A and B are shown apart, each in its own frame.
Chain A
Amino acid sequence: MSLLGSIKKVDDFTWEIPPDAQEGMLVPGVVFGDRALLEKADRDNALQQVINVACLPGIVKASLAMPDIHWGYGFPIGGVAATGAADGVISPGGVGYDISCGVRLIKTSLTHTEAAGRLRETIDLLNVSVPKGLGTKGRLRLERREVERMMSRGAAALVASGIGWEEDLEAMEENGCYAGADPGKVSDKAVARGREQVGTLGSGNHFLEIQVVDEAGPLAEKLGIFEGQVVVMVHSGSRGLGHQVCTDYIEVMGAALPRYGYRLPDRQLVCAPVQSREGRDYLAAMACAANFAMCNREAITHWVRECFERVFGTGARKLGMELLYDVSHNLAKAEVHEVDGKPASLMVHRKGATRAFPGSRPEVAERFAQTGQPVIIPGDMGSYSFVLVGTEEALRKSFGSTCHGAGRAMSRKAAKKLVRGEELRERLESRGIMVRSGHLAGFAEEAPEAYKDVQEVVEICEGAGLSRKVARMRPLAVMKG
């Protein structure tokens, strides 16, 4: 059933689903997008999911959807929901199975012209140095206590062992360590699934790309970004460890649900009070998975730097391979935001949405005080990716959140019907994009046709004031699991 009839236009980029649109809604739904995106979200049932999230106990202000909204499992992808930290709930489904799935961008001082002749060698070396795809093991063999150290201390644990740089930590959300982690709340199964996966890319939409900055705006210089610069983007998450944490706690909360008496429109939205034992345990385990995810991306960064060092015959520091920033786009965070004119302690769920804070927030490192927090937006394989920064307006409108990517426009199955992996590889190669992929069927699932136009999504985010554009990158070489 179409929900477009019950939606009100607020301005060119904002649409509201009033709380009387469906019984059980506690707050309105707010979708950032244009008419075309809205119609698409309606067709794939994602608007109904915005309404379902508006029924979560303790939700405040609105159930929000970013312009890359699409149908998810329970929560829509691109969904943001804040609940009261004292009287609201935490929902593992509102974080997702890939806890702290995220993106980072590693800069270099190389220009495309300087690097062009060696990019094939670089991607080939990366392809054998960074494990990817199902069933491949990471290069680190870890004991449980080492995994526990990563879960408790985050990326600093890895840096202490000589993997990654100290200064990387400041360029990660929470300085690379999410507070409140308690490995005792993570099951043996979760540890067993993740133990051999530190520094592995995974599969699905995860990738590693060598890109060139092809447009750099006025803020770019402050972030050390310039036109023609070669950069490396990494998209991966908490691997099997995070997937198992989510699986485990959906069961824990499902068992506890009758006790709390919540009536939910979708079983995948299962939740428990933030202040309950189940809620606190989940948050402690989620923090472990988030820290593990940052370690995973930090280890991949280490292999990337090593590969560049070998190919270019110079140290990674000399090659300017600093981490610009690392963002998580599947996470719940304890944050303070203004609600009804007063500061309120909230649990902000971002499911396929990125934190986009202005420089004034205490969570943002000093070095980004003037620009705002960098936001890394991966596009799809054939098109552009972006660096954005957070804004004050995002704080007012979306609890300081923006989009996380292009957002699927087509299911994986539909994409595979439309595009053959081999054809896609040829098409990209003919445009000068080198491709290294584990299996071609999965590769076709990630075809550019399967995604919304990322430029359009980014424009809408800018139009709505949720983030500002800094730079645009196009892919030179793509590696997928």
Chain B
Amino acid sequence: MGIRACGSSMSEAFENCARGMMSLMLDLEKIRPERRVRLAAQGRERESLLVSWLSEILYRVEAEGWAFRSFEVSEISDTSVRAWGTGEALDPERHVTGAEIKAPTYHMLELREEKGRWTAQVIFDV
């Protein structure tokens, strides 16, 4: 299972990718924007940064019980991202619509920029 997300900047592609990943597991419409939390990830280059970013979000969902409905990247480079995640505590009864995602993979991973348009493609292990 995978997603393809677009954006007019690298930040937007990262935000949309994260939102896409959450939508595979949870009903985003049912998540209330109650709290914000700081998110950060590092990578060796852009693509590994994208994997680290999504892995960090999965960790927050699974270990800290977050349900995110949106993301806002505040700083981004080829090797580091800082962002805010907005949502509430995960309620399996109310939010869950899909299977757990085990991890984002490197298989067929893509992050490209063409004429100012960013596209990201990520395959997940479900």
Using a CB–CB cutoff of 8 Å, the interface residues on chain A facing chain B are 73-74, 93, 96-98, 133-136, 189, 192-193, 195, 202-204, 240, 243-244, 246-247, 250-251, 254-255, 266-268, 270, 411-413, 438-439, 441-442, 445, 481
Q: What's the Cα separation between A411 and B25 when bound, in Å?
A: 17
Which B residues lie within 8 Å of A244 (CB)?
A: 59
Which B residues lie within 8 Å of A134 (CB)?
A: 25-26, 92, 96, 98-100
Closest chain B residue to A96, Cβ basis: B125
20 of the cross-chain contacts (CB-CB < 8 Å) are A73-B125, A96-B125, A97-B125, A98-B102, A134-B98, A134-B99, A134-B100, A135-B65, A135-B90, A135-B96, A246-B103, A251-B51, A254-B44, A254-B106, A266-B107, A267-B107, A268-B105, A268-B106, A412-B1, A481-B99
Q: How far is the CB of B125 from chain A (nearest CB, A)?
A: 5
Q: Is the CB of A250 within 8 A of B95?
A: no
Q: What's the Cα separation between A240 and B25 when bound, in Å?
A: 15
Using a CB–CB cutoff of 8 Å, the interface residues on chain B facing chain A are 1, 25-26, 44, 48, 51-52, 55, 59, 61-63, 65, 90-92, 95-100, 102-103, 105-107, 109, 123, 125-126
Q: What's the Cα separation between A243 and B101 when bound, in Å?
A: 9
Which B residues lie within 8 Å of A412 (CB)?
A: 1, 126
Which A residues lie within 8 Å of B98 (CB)?
A: 134, 439, 441-442
Which A residues lie within 8 Å of B25 (CB)?
A: 134
Which B residues lie within 8 Å of A439 (CB)?
A: 96-98
Residue among B65, B96, B102, B123 facing the most chain A CB atoms (10 A cut-off): B102
Q: Is the CB of A74 within 8 A of B105?
A: yes
Q: What's the Cα separation between A441 and B107 when bound, in Å?
A: 25
Q: What's the Cα separation between A244 and B90 when bound, in Å?
A: 20
* A73: contacting residue among B26, B44, B91, B123, CB under 8 A: B123
Q: Is the CB of A438 within 8 A of B44?
A: no
* B103: contacting residue among A247, A266, A270, A445, CB under 8 A: A247
Q: Is the CB of B103 within 8 A of A243?
A: yes
Q: How far is the CB of B121 from chain A (nearest CB, A)?
A: 13
Which B residues lie within 8 Å of A251 (CB)?
A: 44, 48, 51-52
Q: Is the CB of B105 within 8 A of A192?
A: no
Q: How far is the CB of A411 from chain B (nearest CB, A)?
A: 8
Closest chain B residue to A189, Cβ basis: B59
Which A residues lie within 8 Å of B109 (CB)?
A: 267
Which B residues lie within 8 Å of A240 (CB)?
A: 62-63
Closest chain A residue to B54, Cβ basis: A247
Q: Is the CB of B96 within 8 A of A97?
A: no
Q: How far is the CB of B39 from chain A (nearest CB, A)?
A: 14
Which B residues lie within 8 Å of A96 (CB)?
A: 125
Q: What's the Cα separation between A251 and B97 when bound, in Å?
A: 30
Q: How far is the CB of A16 from chain B (nearest CB, A)?
A: 25
